[in-house]
Structures are given as structure tokens and as C-alpha cells.
Chains A and B, each alone.
Chain A
Amino acid sequence: MERVLLKNIENPESADINEYKKAGGYKGLPKALGMQPREIIDEVKKAGLRGRGGAGFPVAMKWTFASADPKFPKYLLCNADEGEPGTFKDRPILEKNPHILIEGMAISGYALGAEYGYVYLRGEYPGAKDVLNRAIAQAYEQGFLGDNIGGKGVRFHLAVHQGAGAYICGEETALIESLEGDKGQPRIKPPFPVNVGVFSKPTVVNNVETLSNLPYLIEIGGEAYSKIGSPDCPGPKIYCVSGHVERPGVYELPMGTSLKDIIYDHCGGMKAGRKLKAVIPGGISTPVLPPDKIDCPMDFVNMPKHGSMLGSGAVIVMDESVCLVKVCFRALKFFEHESCGKCTPCREGTGWLRKILGRIEHGEGVDGDIELLLSVAGNILGKTFCPLGDGAASVVQNFIKHFRPEFEEHIRAGKCMVNG
């Protein structure tokens, strides 16, 4: 498949507007401006586009809700917080292909009737901030942003808002709080952001990769787009692979490419021919899989049937040199650190899980610790304000489900089977 989202990124000048145009860019926007907003949403629906931020929510549905709300102005927010550990798929778009995102946002803004957009960019990507700001200035100069886009009187203004190092701000309502100048703590839903979002106005939050699909989708039409990749969940998808493979990196492939093929074909297999031990397929919050369960299509519809989730498409591959108790412990350290503290099960529970895992990892586990972990996890799951808590609990459950003997051995022997 020819690359769409990461097209032309080998060109060192790819972030420049003229290079983007030479590579075929800014074709979708003029076409979109010749359509009615409703028609654009219909194309997106026909395309079957799902959000790439982690949950796979149908884009057209979210847009329909927001555009039906009579309140103005409306806002379009691009989620460029990319904090899910293992994820580095939005970064190449932001740093090397910013105009595809800007064009996508201008199309979405027009479709939604949103006149203002912000890119909520994680603080850890200072380089991307400069690239984006330059690209936005170029887009204003050439009339792709501003008060009279394409000479059609369409308004869309765009600015970058830099986050400051808080994973929870990737959650859309926390992102909104943060954009408003507050601590990034999630809001209760309903009301949903599509009705009461940033500055109390109808707001659509979409991921970088999601919005970057729009120019191509509009250019070729929803029908043709829906033929790419998985029929249940079409389109191109950026998978980002890290860990013990020969060629880690970002791979733009048809949605639904099998996890096995990603690891063994595209990434050249296991590093130095070592043995696969475990894979986290969609970022650290998604359920870990053992080697015999990786023959599964990587999309939002099929991964749950195979015991995990597509999440952000961040594949972390681990060979036999890895102690999984240690990985699980490190993951929970992350969740404890990033818990926003708003609700008790998550704020207290992640700390408890981390402590118990820590004592097992350090050879001080006691009989009953595994049951205790499962009991604490069970008391978090489904009882928290936002999905961060659920993520933490399910990480623990799934590591134990697939790799229980390793935890038992740690407790029994008081040391690690892998690292001694």
C-alpha cells in the first residue's frame, strides 16, 4: 500500500507547505469546500473512519452530535498529547507532515461549523511545536487558514497549545480542563464535550492521526476509502513498534494487518533471533498477549475478540531477557504517578498495586499476594471516574492471567527467574 499519512517524510523539507503541495497536498480541502458540510460528514460515515486515539469511536457519529448542537462558536481540538507509553505514531506527522494535519483540521472545522481549533501538543515535543507553528503561519499566508479560506468566506483559526507533562491530559475532558487553564482532571459525562466542551461550547476532540486521514478520505471519497484494510474498520493505520525486534519504528499499513506479520515481516522478526516472550499490542494500557495469541488482525473490532485492544497501535515486543513482573511493576509505577487523584479507587488503588508488585519484584512477596493484587484490581475496575483506573487494573489482571507462574516463582523463590 502506498503511504498516505507518512507520505514524503524521507524528504528533509517535507514539513514545508510547497513540498507538501508538490507531493499532492491541499487537494482535499478545496474539494471539501465545494461540498456541503453535511455531505462531508456523510463521506466520513461511508468511509467508516474510526478515531485513532485509542477508543476507535466512529468519527461521523461524534461530528453529527456536535454539528447538531445549536450553540456557537464550536471548537475543534486536536489531541496531540500522545502520552500512552510505547506510542510514537503522531510524532512523525507532527514533526514531518504537519500540513496533512492542518488540512485535515480545516476540512473538519468546515464540516462541523467550527471556527476555532487548537492542537493540544504534549510538552515533551518541543521540536514539533516549532514545526507546527511554522506550518500554521504558512497555511495562513496561503489562505488555507483564516477568515476567507479558499476565497469562500469560510473561517477557521488554528493555534498550538502546549501541555506540560501529564498523561491524563490525553483524556479528552481532562484535555479540555487543561486547555482552559486548569489542572487536568477529567469531567463527569454527560454532558459530553460535543455539547458542553471547551469554554462551555460544542467541542470535538480528535486524535492527530484521525484528523490527518481527512484530506485523503475526501480526495478519494468515502466509498473508495472504505476498501482499504479491514472491512470492519478501514483505512491506513500507523503502527509503532518498539522493543526486541530487528527493525523497530513506525509502519503505515492497512488497518487490520496481523500482529504476527507486523513483528515477523515488517519489523524483520525478533532481534538476534531470540525467542518472543510477550507482546503489548496497543500501548501499555492494553492487555499483554503471550506468543501463541499474536495471530490477530490489528484493528478496533477484531483485537477485543482476541483478548486485547488496538489502543494506540503501539506494539511493545519483549523477548526472554525480560522479567514480566518487573514490566508490570514499572507499568503500575507509571499509573500511580499519572493518576490525577480525583477518585479514590484509582488514586489509592494504583499505589497499592505498585507497592505489592514492588515487594514481589524485590523478592519480598508473600503467599496470597497474587490474590491480593487481583482483589485490589477488581475493586478498581469499573469504579473509577475515567478509564485510566480501569487501564491500570486490567494491566495487572492480564499479566497475571497469562504469566502467573512467573509471579508465583518470584514469591516462592524470593528472586527473579530471568535476572536472578
Chain B
Amino acid sequence: MFRETAIKEIEAIREQYPTARAALLPAIYVAQREFGWLSPEAYESVSSVLGVPRATVRGVATFYAMYKHRPMGRHLVQLCTNVSCMILGAEKLVDFLKNRYGLEAGGMSSDGRFSLVIMECIGACGTAPAMLVNNDFYENLTEKYIEEILEKYR
């Protein structure tokens, strides 16, 4: 079950909407942060705080790409490969992440340091290729630059 602080946080979010159900997406984000991923316990917790059936929580959560249904590495690398990034070399960067860090699309590095998700457009097309690491944008990527960036994430 959630810690007390997380319950308080969800209750505060709930206040922003006329229905409890509308707080579901933000509550799932809280659960993901608290549990690291959407474990059965995470679903159960959201379900009991908002009074929404567990199957509904799961049904909604699995629709969205940013909810994680398996344990994740300590840092989340989200690399865009949509057209603007692709025509400026994003695919080579996918290969680079694989060869250099053992990171496969949708997978985790064996040391648990990184998870990689291949993204549709992340809105950084003018400075492509681009990625997000956790909450930070990195743009105009090259292999060398990626190495420098990932050094910072241990």
C-alpha cells in the first residue's frame, strides 16, 4: 500500500476534479513513482485510494505508453526515432546504445542502470536527434555526446 504522503498527494490531486475517476491518470503516475513500476501492488493501491476497480486501473494504464508494466532501470532513456530524428541519424544511435551499453529497445541494461524506450515524436525536431533522460531533454545528439550525457547518470 501507499505511504501516507502519497495518499495525501493523491487526495490533493483528487480535489482538482469533479470526479474521483478523473484523478486516475495522475494517481497512476504517483504509483509508478512510488513503486518504480506498475506492480500488482501499485494497481491495488490506486484502486483502493480512488475507489476505482483494479481491472479498470489496469485497463486504462495499459493504454498509455508512458506507464511501465515491468521493473525499470534506475534511469530512463527515451530516444526519438520518428521522421525528423530518423533522417538525421537516430537509427545509428539506437545501434550505438545497443553496442555500447547493451540496451535494447524496451529493455534494461544488465547492471540495472538504464532502461531504453524508443519514442514517437518528443517535440524536439528542430534539434534532432533528441532524447529524454528521466525528465531532461538532450538534443543534437551524437554518439560521443550520448556517452558524455550518460556518464552523469550512475
- Of the candidates A82, A163, A318, the one whose C-beta lies within 8 Å of that of B87 is A318
Residues of chain B within 8 A (CB-CB) of A321 are 87
- Is B120 a contact of A338 with CB atoms below 8 Å? yes
Residues of chain B within 8 A (CB-CB) of A179 are 22
Bound form: Cα–Cα A161–B13 in Å = 10
Residues of chain A within 8 A (CB-CB) of B16 are 159
- Is A243 a contact of B84 with CB atoms below 8 Å? yes
- Is A316 a contact of B18 with CB atoms below 8 Å? no
Task: Output the nearest chain B residue to A167 by Cβ-Cβ distance.
Answer: B120
Bound form: Cα–Cα A340–B63 in Å = 8
Bound form: Cα–Cα A88–B122 in Å = 8
Q: Which of A6-14, A141-149, A181-189 contacts B (4 or more CB under 8 A)?
A: A181-189
Q: Which of A124-132, A299-307, A343-351 contacts B (4 or more CB under 8 A)?
A: A124-132
- Is B121 a contact of A181 with CB atoms below 8 Å? no
- Of the candidates B83, B120, B136, the one whose C-beta lies within 8 Å of that of A316 is B83
Task: Let me know if A166 is at the binding interface, CB within 8 A.
Answer: yes
Bound form: Cα–Cα A86–B125 in Å = 6
- Of the candidates A124, A162, A164, A167, the one whose C-beta lies within 8 Å of that of B132 is A124
Which residues of chain B (29-79) have a CB below 8 Å from chain A? 29, 52, 59-60, 63-67, 78
Bound form: Cα–Cα A163–B126 in Å = 23
Task: Let me know if B8 is at the binding interface, CB within 8 A.
Answer: no
Residues of chain A within 8 A (CB-CB) of B137 are 127
Bound form: Cα–Cα A313–B83 in Å = 16
Task: Output the nearest chain A residue to B81 by Cβ-Cβ distance.
Answer: A330
Bound form: Cα–Cα A331–B81 in Å = 11
- Is B122 a contact of A124 with CB atoms below 8 Å? yes
Which residues of chain A (159-195) have a CB below 8 Å from chain B? 159, 161-167, 178-184
Task: Let me know if B112 is at the binding interface, CB within 8 A.
Answer: no
- Of the candidates B29, B52, B121, B126, the one whose C-beta lies within 8 Å of that of A249 is B126
- Is A284 a contact of B83 with CB atoms below 8 Å? yes
From B63, B65, B66, B78, residue with most partner A Cβ within 10 Å:
B63
- Is A334 a contact of B120 with CB atoms below 8 Å? yes
Task: Output the nearest chain A residue to B27 by Cβ-Cβ distance.
Answer: A181
- Is B83 a contact of A164 with CB atoms below 8 Å? no
- Of the candidates A161, A280, A314, A337, the one whose C-beta lies within 8 Å of that of B120 is A337
- Is A85 a contact of B83 with CB atoms below 8 Å? yes
Which residues of chain A (207-264) have a CB below 8 Å from chain B? 240-244, 248-250
- Of the candidates B25, B64, B78, B84, the one whose C-beta lies within 8 Å of that of A85 is B84
- Is A161 a contact of B123 with CB atoms below 8 Å? no
Task: Let me know if A87 is at the binding interface, CB within 8 A.
Answer: yes
A181-B59 contact, Cβ under 8 Å, with A88-B123, A164-B64, A248-B126: no
Task: List the interface of chain B (C-beta within 8 A of A).
Answer: 16, 18-19, 21-26, 28-29, 52, 59-60, 63-67, 78, 81-84, 86-88, 119-128, 132, 135-137
- Beyond A83-B121, A87-B125, A122-B123, 15 additional contacts (C-beta under 8 Å) are A83-B120, A85-B84, A86-B82, A127-B135, A164-B64, A167-B120, A180-B19, A181-B60, A182-B24, A243-B84, A248-B126, A280-B83, A284-B83, A322-B87, A334-B82
Q: Please give me the 9 A-B residue pairs with the lowest Cβ-Cβ distance, nearest first.
A: A181-B24, A165-B65, A242-B125, A165-B66, A164-B64, A85-B121, A242-B84, A181-B21, A183-B63
* 5 A-B pairs whose Cβ atoms sit less than 8 Å apart in the complex: A84-B121, A165-B64, A241-B126, A327-B86, A334-B82
